[in-house]
Each structure stands twice: as structure tokens, then as C-alpha cells.
Amino acid sequence: VQDHFFLCLGQQYDIEIDDNNRPWFSWGIGARSARRIPKQISNMQILPGSIGPEVGEVLEWTVDVHVAGHDMTTWKRLTTPDNLGYKFSSLKPTAFAAYHVMNNQLNNDTRSVIPTYHGNTIWGNVFCQAFCVGLASYHFETDEDGNHEAYISYENPRTSEWPNLDNGMSIPSRVPFRNIQWNPERRVFKGDICWLEDQGTTWNGESKWSYEMQFNRTFLFIVSGTCSLSDRDDH
């Protein structure tokens, strides 16, 4: 179990969080005999920033419709990732949230790989969806000369399931933002993803994405924004 999903008998199950901070997942195509798709719901609240059950603790999942022989599933934690020294913060599961790192728990080699968090600026932060770095996460960096750089990361292995570029090539691991504009007073970032210009091809028929994002005061999450796709309406 990692990155909020798990694999069982060749099928992927995505773990979601309900309004009471309880994990759940649906059975999907695996429950053909049920009148509706069953949902497996845990008995434990897992708050943002926590790692869930302690070592040896049991997490019980009950199903919301009766399926013979599958009324309850039990997971038992065998190890803990305390040595990673990370935590997450988000107001809701679907938001792009900043990835926190407790730097004092990391060695120098790890710090160069795991993102950091800064509460007074966008630069140096990473904003993730589904709590996954590299799953189209937004990275904002400053180089040695003080120049700002930004890119979208597709480095998570799950992106291999996404469509290739329109020329058949795989999605690049990192795609840079061009034409960057940053308004610190309004906390608004603007930038373009230039597929045709940078990659020599389009993706899903789109040649350019133009972003505008506004961040909250502590740079924990994206408050609002738009992405204008070439030949499509804003969303």
C-alpha cells in the first residue's frame, strides 16, 4: 500500500478519504454479483499529517452492502515509515496541497530528493494532488543565481498508465513552465506549458496550457485558478 492506492489480483484500488477522515475504497469491477458497487470503509480516522495505525495495530474495513464472505477486511501494520520524516497538509482530499518535510529528521542525501515547504513564499514548495509527488505535481524552485523556475512533474510511476504524447513518445518526466509571472502581493502565479514548442508535438490535441493559480496566505494549498487549454474553454 503506497501513494493512496494498492494492487490486488491485478486490479488497482484507489483509497479515498471521507468527510470524517476515514479511508475507503470501492470494489470496482470486482463485484459483479452486487446490485451496486460495494464500498469498503475503515473504522479509523486518519487525520492529515498522521501516518495511520501504529505498528501492530489493526485497521478494520467493513463493506456497505452485503457480499457473502466479504463483510470485513482486516489490515495489520507491520512497519512504519517514521524514518522518512514527512507529513502532508490539505483542507480537502482533492486539493493541490503543499508537501511538508521535517528537515531536521532527514539526512543531506534525502533532502536533495524530498520536497521542502516554506510558509512565506511559493518558491521552494511543491503542490501535490492525491498526496503524490510526481503525479502532475507543481514544483517551484529558485536556482543558484536567484532565478525562479517552475515545472510539472510526471515522475510518479502511475503516470505510465496515462496516454502518450501525440507523437507516440512517453510523457516527459518534467515539463517546464514558460512565460512565468509571479505577483507576491496577490499570491498569483501565471505560466504556460508549451507542449508543441518544447516537445515538438501536442498532448491529447493540445499545444499549450496557460495557468493562473492563487495560493492561500501560508502557501499550503491552491485557493483557485484556471488552466486555459488551446482550442478549449477554461477549466
- Looking at residue 85, what is its pLDDT? 39
- Looking at residue 213, what is its pLDDT? 93
Q: Which of 36, 11, 41 is nearest to 24 (CA)?
A: 41
In the three-class reduction of DSSP (H, G, I as helix; E, B as strand; rest coil), residue 73 is classed as strand
Identify the sign of the CA torsion 98, 103, 104, 110. Answer: positive
Is residue 8 pLDDT above 80, yes or no?
no
Query: For the chain, how many residues are written?
Result: 235
Tell me what the mean pLDDT of segment 25-43 comes to: 65
Ranges 51-55, 69-73, 82-86: which has the least confidence: 82-86
Cα of 119 vs its chain's centroid, Å: 19
Whole-number percent of the chain with pLDDT over 70: 69
In the sheet with 97-101, reading across from the earlier edge strand, the strands are 86-88, 97-101, 126-128, 137-142, 148-153, 174-183, 188-194, 208-215, 222-229
Span 108-139, pLDDT tens digits: 433 344 677 888 999 999 998 877 888 899 99
Q: CB-based contacts of 12: which residues, under 8 Å, 6+ apart?
A: 5, 6
Q: Decide if 114 contacts 106 (C-beta within 8 A).
A: yes
Ranges 50-54, 108-112, 143-147, 187-191: which has the least confidence: 108-112
- Looking at residue 171, what is its pLDDT? 95
Tell me what the mean pLDDT of segment 3-10 comes to: 66
Ranges 10-19, 32-41, 216-225: which has the least confidence: 32-41
Is residue 228 pLDDT above 50, yes or no?
yes
The Cα 121–Cα 6 span in angstroms is 34
Tell me what the mean pLDDT of segment 97-110 comes to: 42
- Looking at residue 199, what is its pLDDT? 96
Ranges 62-71, 151-160, 166-175, 210-219: which has the least confidence: 62-71
Q: Decide if 77 contacts 57 (C-beta within 8 A).
A: yes
Is residue 12 pLDDT above 50, yes or no?
yes
Q: Which residue has the higher pLDDT, 66 or 193?
A: 193
Span 172-221, pLDDT tens digits: 999 999 999 999 999 999 999 999 999 999 999 999 999 999 999 889 88
Q: CB-based contacts of 179: which residues, under 8 Å, 6+ apart?
A: 190, 191, 192
User: What pLDDT band is residue 57 in, cutting at 50, 70 and 90?
Assistant: confident
- Looking at residue 160, what is its pLDDT? 87
Nine-digit cell string for 133:
509527488
Q: Which residue has the higher pLDDT, 9 or 36?
A: 9
